[in-house]
Chains A and B, each alone.
Chain A
Amino acid sequence: MNNLFVYLELEGSQVEEVSLELLTKGRTLANRLNCQLEAVAIGSKLDEIGKQVFPFGVDKLHLFDDARLFPYTSLPHTSILVKLFEEEKPQIALMGATSIGRDLGPRVSSALHSGLTADCTSLEIGDHEEKKDNKNYTDLLYQIRPAFGGNIVATIINPDCRPQMATVREGVMKKEIFDANYKGETVKHEVAKYVSNTDFIVSVIERHVEQSKVNIKGAPIIVAGGYGMGSKENFQLLHDLANTIGAEVGASRAAVDAGFTDHDRQIGQTGVTVRPKLYIACGISGQIQHIAGMQESSMIISINNDPNAPINTVADYVITGEVETVIPKMIKYYKKNSK
């Protein structure tokens, strides 16, 4: 009762990175709240799940193993979580802000009438005083997220409803082994008690999983372009620089929205969070939602024709000038000076 739950996202029998990151965060929050960390795996052939998640400090693993539960569909996974949460009464439930978590979370929160905050960039524990009703709340989950297209940051709370639910994007939290020998308990649930046949009203006919060709999350150097690149053609400059110095190309949301490049290169709150050794921001003004996704880069270079671009405040090096002029010169002088 009153524990912290993490929904495990699965690809076959493999737990996704985002869920392991949430377990790491969940463990920290559970320690702070002095409660247990529990994980829920819903899918098929789940014998290997425990091995993957116990090192992250999971105290109890709930397994729902049934051939019909993979690939994911909304209703059966919703039914299981809703019933499980009604029985277990978690205080907090976390899931990935993925196409699965963002399909499942809202449905579960609606059924339980509990609050859900999407795409949190930070989760903290804190208190709240409701002056109007003279009520004090302790140890609430602060769900912190950029809002309004990333122009402000809001702290959201769910004072009265449980569980307090939040989704978090992959890469936002850091994955860390808690204890390689951690021993938790495994509970195998009888699936038929939780789902009915009518839950299988939507079926997956075909499924093509593509490995992303772009690996911006793991790249040590990222050259990212924003709306200030001006055109799809100019984006090629970024690829030229990236190829020269061994980097991957990223983009701001504005550049993706403008059609300069593909969504899988998007960095920021609604894209990927990155922590490279070097981040070169080209023609990116620096909306909060973008900065939130790259500010932990070890070194940041900003190239912008506006000396007052907001991104310059977080940059180690600021180059004031036109990207079309600066980037070719960077390539030229890199080639000249590198051995």
Chain B
Amino acid sequence: MSLKIIVLAKQVPDTRNVGKDAMKADGTVNRAALPAIFNPEDLNALEQALRLKDKHPGSTVTLLTMGPGRAAEIIREGLFRGADGGYLLTDRAFAGADTLATSYALSMAIRKIEKFDVIISGRQAIDGDTAQVGPQVAEKLGIPQITYAEEIQSITNGTIRVKRRLERGIEIVEGKLPMVVTVNSSAPECRPRNAKLLQKYKHARTVTEKQAEAVDYEDLYSIRPYLNLAEWSVTDVSANIEDCGLSGSPTKVKKIESVVFQAKESKTFDSSDVDIEELMVELINNHTIG
């Protein structure tokens, strides 16, 4: 049985490698100083999708991402690794969306993509760590969810079997398609880029990108239509603008602070034998250790 698989992916600032210039003087985040990457668990999700495609010939993997224009990089990256196509959901009206408004927008785009069997995404994105979008997309679409997946073990006659990795152990669960599955970082890493696919898709562009780059080989895109990356706005996915972005977000950010912890008077040592011995003796004498 061939499957129609949608992978939800997000371009995120690499919050794991935050340098000193990542915070502006006013305590807000300097996004420009952080490299934009494919959210790590979304790559784990893509790999699960590609494995299903390997097992079920004729299946397709379609990426869906929401973000600014440059998030088209996520779709190209997916194509280089074996996805069949993708959509970029981009519109100023999506800005400031919390997880609920994001899920609404994604669910409207998914409805437009038409039929699907399984939607796979990373459990959470490293810039928010909320793990909310997967379940909320499922709820908006009125379909069930399996979160914390480590492995999609099989899909047989419309039944999906998944191994979940939880805080204290594992669970094997089964459910009927369609299903949303969110994947943990404990799942296998994503396969690397494929050289042939890189050659094939390196010129894949959205309309906006083509305009920005003033591409003068327009005929390339009519000869090879797969190089045209679809870009969707609020109107394209028939979303209600009130439910998108800030206005569709029940949560508001009241305050953002860069945190200053109560500084303590600290005693300093260096790594010399004298210093370390003095410290250890002090800790033993005041019964902190031993």
Contacts and interface: CB of A to CB of B under 8 A. Distances in A.
A187 interface: no
Nearest to B273: A329
B271 A318 contact: no
B100 A115 contact: yes
Interface string A47-65: 0000000000000000000
Interface residues of B, number: 79
A246 B103 CA distance: 47
A142 B254 contact: yes
Given A103-B145, A254-B16, A321-B270, A313 B263 contact: yes
B176 A206 contact: no
A216 interface: no
A201 interface: yes
Interface string A111-134: 101111111000000001000000
Given A110-B136, A207-B171, A317 B27 contact: no
- Measured as residues with beta carbon below 8 angstroms from the partner, the interface class of chain A is 35 or more
Nearest to B263: A313
Given A118-B131, A148-B15, A316 B271 contact: no
A148 to B, nearest CB: 5
A207 B138 CA distance: 24
B113 interface: no
A152 B138 contact: no
B22 interface: yes
Given A151-B23, A207-B171, A319-B271, A107 B15 contact: no
B288 A333 contact: no
A46 interface: no
Contacts of A114: 250
A334 interface: yes
B271 A116 contact: no
A299 B288 contact: yes
A146 B289 CA distance: 32
A316 B173 CA distance: 48
Contact of B255 (A155, A245, A288, A325): A155
B222 to A, nearest CB: 41
A154 B167 contact: no
Contact of A110 (B18, B127, B135, B270): B135
A177 interface: no
Most buried by B among A109, A160, A313: A109
Given A74-B144, A152-B29, A317-B267, A203 B262 contact: no
B27 A152 contact: yes
Contact of A312 (B98, B129, B266): B266
A314 B262 contact: yes
Interface string B240-254: 000000000111111
Given A107-B138, A118-B130, A205-B173, A99 B148 contact: yes
A336 B277 CA distance: 9
Interface in A199-247: 201-212, 221, 245-246
Contact of A157 (B252, B264, B273): B252
A337 B100 contact: no
Interface string B90-134: 000000001110010000000000000000000000111111111
Contacts of B126: 149
B138 A102 contact: no
A147 interface: yes
Interface in A91-115: 98-99, 102-103, 105-107, 109-111, 113-115
Contacts of B98: 115
B103 to A, nearest CB: 6
Contact of A291 (B18, B261, B277): B261
Contacts of A329: 271, 273, 276-277
Given A74-B144, A295-B261, A325-B271, A221 B289 contact: yes
Interface in A238-280: 245-246, 253-254, 257, 263-264, 269-270, 277-278
Contact of A334 (B18, B127, B147, B289): B289
Interface of A: 71, 73-75, 78, 98-99, 102-103, 105-107, 109-111, 113-119, 128, 142-143, 146-161, 201-212, 221, 245-246, 253-254, 257, 263-264, 269-270, 277-278, 287-288, 291, 295, 299-301, 307, 312-322, 325-326, 329-330, 333-334, 336-339
6 contacts: A203-B173, A203-B174, A264-B167, A319-B271, A319-B275, A320-B269
Given A74-B147, A307-B268, 15 more contacts: A103-B145, A110-B100, A115-B100, A118-B131, A154-B257, A157-B251, A157-B252, A160-B250, A254-B16, A270-B129, A287-B18, A295-B261, A314-B262, A317-B268, A333-B277
Among all A-B residue pairs, the 9 with the closest Cβ atoms: A149-B15, A321-B271, A115-B250, A115-B251, A202-B175, A106-B132, A110-B139, A161-B250, A106-B135
